Amino acid sequence: MDSYATIRGTATAEIEIKKSRFIASLAHVETEDEALAFLASIQAANRLARHNVYAYILREGGAGGTQRIRYSDDGEPQKTAGMPTLEVIQHAGLSDVICVTTRYFGGTLLGTGGLVRAYTQAAQEAVAAADTVVMSRCVDVVIAIGYPLYDQLMHLAERCGAKTVDTSYADSVTVTLRMLDGTQQALLDELTALCRGNEDVLVDGPFDAAF
C-alpha cells in the first residue's frame, strides 16, 4: 500500500553558532506555488537576514506519485546549505514539505564544514519539532443503516480495518468509514450480506489522508 510521511502545519527551530542565528521554518505544502509562497513569506519577514536557504520535496500525484525536488544555497558556498537541508528532509522520509532556514550573520565565518553542520542541525531540530503524519491512499465508505443493524456494522467495520470518521443520527444512522484504498471490497461484500442486498452505500475517493 503506497503511503508517505509529511507534517501538519508548520514547525520552527532556532540555533545560534558563533553569534550567527539559524532559524529553520518547516511547512506542509502540496504544490510548487504553495512552496514558493511560503518561501516568499519567510523572505518578507526576514528582509535583514543574509541568507534564506531552502529545500522542498513535493509528491506529485499523491501517494505513489513522482517527486519534485528543489533546493538553493541562496548565496552560501555551494552545497553547504541547501543540500544539507534537503538531506535532512530525505532522511526523515518527508514529502510535501519545504524547509527554509534563515541566517543572520554574526560576524564570524564558519567555514564549509561549520555551515553544513549548522544548516543540518537547524533543519533537524525543525523536523523534530514538527507533527509528523503518514498519508495513505484512502476511500470513505458512507453507509445509511437502520438502528437495529448499527452494532453489527461497527463490529464489521472493526474486523475489516475501517475507521469511523463521522456518524449522524436521523431516521437511520449514517456512518462514514475510512479505509485504505483496495481493502474496501471485503467490507462491501459483508455489508451486502448483512443488509440482504438492501444496503445504502456510497464510496467516495480515492484521496490522500492520514490513516
Supply the pLDDT for residue 61.
60
pTM, rounded to two decimals = 0.80
> Three-state secondary structure along the chain?
CCEEEEEECEEEEEEEECCEEEEEEEEECCCHHHHHHHHHHHHHHCCCCCEEEEEEEEEECCCCCEEEEEEECCCCCCCCCHHHHHHHHHHCCECCEEEEEEEECCCCCCHHHHHHHHHHHHHHHHHHHCEEEEEEEEEEEEEEECHHHHHHHHHHHHHCCCEEEEEEECCCEEEEEEEECCCHHHHHHHHHHHHCCCCEEEEEEEEEEEC
Domains within the chain, CATH numbers bracketed:
3-129 (3.30.230.30), 136-210 (3.30.70.240)
Task: Please state the rounded mean pLDDT for residues 47-64.
Answer: 85
pLDDT, tens digit (0-9, with 9 covering 90-100), for 117-166: 999 999 999 999 999 999 999 999 999 999 999 999 999 999 999 999 99
Q: Does residue 2 have a pLDDT over 90?
A: no
98 pLDDT more than 90: yes
